[in-house]
Structure 1
Amino acid sequence: MKAMIVCSGGLDSVTLAYKVAAEGSLTSLVSFQYGQRHDKELGYAARCAEHFGVPHHIIDISNVGAQLTGSALTDDVDVPDGHYAEDSMKLTIVPNRNAIMLTIAYGMAASQGADTVAIAVHGGDHFIYPDCRPDFIEQFAKMQKMALDGYADIDIYAPFLHGSKADIAAAGAALNVPFEDTWSCYKGGEKHCGKCGTCVERAEAFHEAGVVDPTDYEDPDFWRTAVAAHDSGAA
């Protein structure tokens, strides 16, 4: 496996980079500037690439992202607080984001001699994001086989697709991933806010995995309230 990683700089994709490096050959990292309200996470992706001594490509698709309006990640819309599986988190959908990014990554992998594109989508994403679900990944891979037929044979590697965020935290701990060198928070402050959906998910994952969470949160205990509220509503 010679894999290009779609890497945001978050816990999931950085752990994936370490996993690929342990299992095969990590050729490069590709990140995207799509007009997100903050790009702090891209610095963490750069650190990961530097650690492995591989190229880090930042692709500017902000002109495209400007047309994908309505998301709290790109527009002047408040990022919702609470558990990741709440309906309110649908405000963080950027339509077709993964489809667009993966299409670009496949083209780059084909032209650069990689045989795999790796992405860190996982089971916790399925409720909110349609382009993180198993059916999407399977059908996208089939489409790309046709798109590159006769030119390149690129596989997709999504090892966390059916697992949880806690599984990723456990895998990262086993691989000695420096979790402090990852960024999850949607708000992009000096610290992780501790209250947005992805901060809550991050803290919950470390707790469920039994892994020490090195993250410095502005509100380190909010996740417990959010998880309890979600669990009581789901009961």
Structure 2
Amino acid sequence: MRAVCLLSGGMDSTTLAYVAKDMGYDIIALHFTYGQRTEAKERECARTIARMLDAAEFVEISLEHFKKIGASSLTDTSIPVEEYGGEEEGMPSTYVPFRNANLLAIATSLAEARRAEAIFIGVQTGDYPGYPDCRPEFIEAFQRVVDIGTAGDPRITLMTPFVRMSKVDIIRKGLELGVPYEHTWSCYQNNDLACGICSSCHYRREAFRELGLEDPIAYEE
């Protein structure tokens, strides 16, 4: 069995790739660069994880159009990355417009070309207000697009087991599988020391704290 695993280098996608491997899939690691602030660190982590998973292939694709489209603090440095401040209201500045549809479309092309049976994507909405393209309804709708728009031999299934899980649940699962979290990156801002104050850093650190563990990566604050 083969699976395309969207591997950003982050905590969720890395854990999910380990889940796919544990399920018996041969991993085709798919990594995207799109001008995000932490592009260099994410690439480094994704390559390391793919190597540790003995991935059959590491495919890196550049999506420069997101930089041109803008409207996200991940790709436009003139827009500040928000610090975590409790319950967030409205759409976070880090939302990249319709990103997951773009990523899944390319993942589907790759899966069809490699005759993979599954695509694993680590969308997760448990700890914070989800981006619209992380909702279960979006994944269900995109599955219909895949079913209609591909040859169907083999059928490609979108695998999103984390969509309703919390960060704590995800880390707990990863620890069972021996995920090397020291080689993952979640910070939205920095490539060297994690900022510790963006929402992604916050939710990651809080999940480790809730489990009584120390996050193995280094932080500024």
Tell me, yes or no, if structure 1 residue 117 matches structure 2 residue 119. Answer: yes
1:15 partner letter: T
> Contact 2:127–2:203 (CA<8 Å) still a contact in 1?
no
Q: What SS does the aligned partner of 1:57 have?
A: strand
- Give the partner amino acid of 1:74: T
Aligned partners of 2:17 and 2:27 also within 8 Å: no
Deviations 1:104-140 (A, max 9, x none): 0011011012110000111237624100011001111
Q: Which runs of 5+ in 2 are unaligned?
A: none
Question: 3-state DSSP class of the match of 1:4?
Answer: strand
Give the letter for the 1:45 counterpart.
Answer: A
SS at match of 1:123: coil
TM-score under structure 1 length normalisation: 0.87
**Aligned CA distance change for structure 1 residues 4 and 83 (closer, same or farther; 3 Å):** farther
Q: What is the TM-score with the length of structure 2 in the denominator?
A: 0.92
What letter is aligned with 2:155? D
SS of 2:26's equivalent in the other structure is strand
Instruction: Report SS of the residue matched to 1:32.
Output: strand
% identity of equivalent residues: 39
Q: How many residues align?
A: 218
Q: How does 1:23-42 map to 2 (within 5 A)?
A: 23-39=23-39, 40-42=41-43
Could you tell which deviates more after superposition, 96-105 or 144-153? 144-153
Say whether the 8 Å CA contact 2:2–2:28 is kept in structure 1.
no
CA distance in 1 between counterparts of 2:31 and 2:71 reads: 22
Q: Which runs of 5+ in 1 are unaligned?
A: 220-235
For 2:117, the aligned partner's letter is D
Write the deviation string for residues 124-163 of structure 1: whole angstroms up to 9, x where unpaired: 3762410001100111111110011455410011110111
Instruction: Name the Cα RMSD after superposition.
Output: 1.8
**Contact 2:29–2:50 (8 Å) recurs in 1:** yes
Q: Is the 8 A contact 2:38 2:187 kept in 1?
A: no
1:26-61 CA-to-partner distances (Å, cap 9, x unmatched) read 331101111212311111000011112221111011
1:230 maps to: none
- The structure 1 segments of at least 4 consecutive aligned residues displaced by more than 6 Å after TM superposition are none
1:165 maps to: 167
Distance 1:26 1:209, change over 3 A: farther
Could you tell me how far 1:88 is from its partner in structure 2? 6.8
3-state SS of paired residue (1:66): helix
CA 1:151 to 1:85, structure 2 compared with 1: closer, same or farther past 3 Å? farther
